[in-house]
Amino acid sequence: IKYRDISGPDGAPDGVIDDYDKVVFGEKEPHYTYAIKGGLEWKGIDFSFYLQGVGKVAGYLEDEARHAFINDYSIPKKEHLDRWTPMNPNASYPRLYQSQEHNRLFSDYWKEDASYLRLKNIQIGYRFPARMVAPLGINSLRVYASADNLFTKTDYFGAYDPEVRTTSGDVYPQVKTYVFGLSITF
């Protein structure tokens, strides 16, 4: 990573990379959040969904997320394989270092758009007609299938969860859950 001389004590580049060259970049809080919820019901069949997301928000990874061997406990990730080498000059990551001192300064190189759209829940069900279940002593019988966090649309760093947005990326991501259920009222 190469840093640029942006400014100096007089507001113009002075040929020295120092604190005058620091700038604010990115927003860690989303400019907007949104959600869409909907449902349909027809002849005992019901369907519902819930989409949620955020827009115009920056994500910044450091520590284990961008360095393969930063701490004694760090385990390299698949993403770390795409490193700069003379044979791979257009890699996603800079040259691999074992030392913690390299590429540690804040840089917009490590900033990415953390906007996302996630399908938080989707459910489909069927309610049996009362005339079918009443002879069994049942008032209502519904079977359903539900799933949470089925997909996420984002341009955020490879395998990291944009909803978590921690700097190290080592937080357990949102899990996908699948539920099959039966709802009975007597």
Give the Cα-Cα-Cα angle 80, 168, 165 (nearest 5 degrees). Answer: 110
Q: Is 82 inside a domain boundary?
A: yes
Q: Region 87-115: what's the mean pLDDT?
A: 74
Q: Is 6 inside a domain boundary?
A: no
Q: Is 11 inside a domain boundary?
A: no
Q: In this predicted structure, what is the pLDDT of residue 101? A: 61
10 pLDDT more than 70: yes
Q: Is 43 inside a domain boundary?
A: yes
Separation CA 175–CA 173 (nearest Å): 6
Q: Is 14 inside a domain boundary?
A: no
Give the count of domains, the chain.
1
pLDDT in tens, 20-79: 877 766 677 899 999 999 999 999 999 999 999 999 998 877 666 666 666 655 666 776
Q: Is 3 inside a domain boundary?
A: no
Range of the domain at 82: 19-185
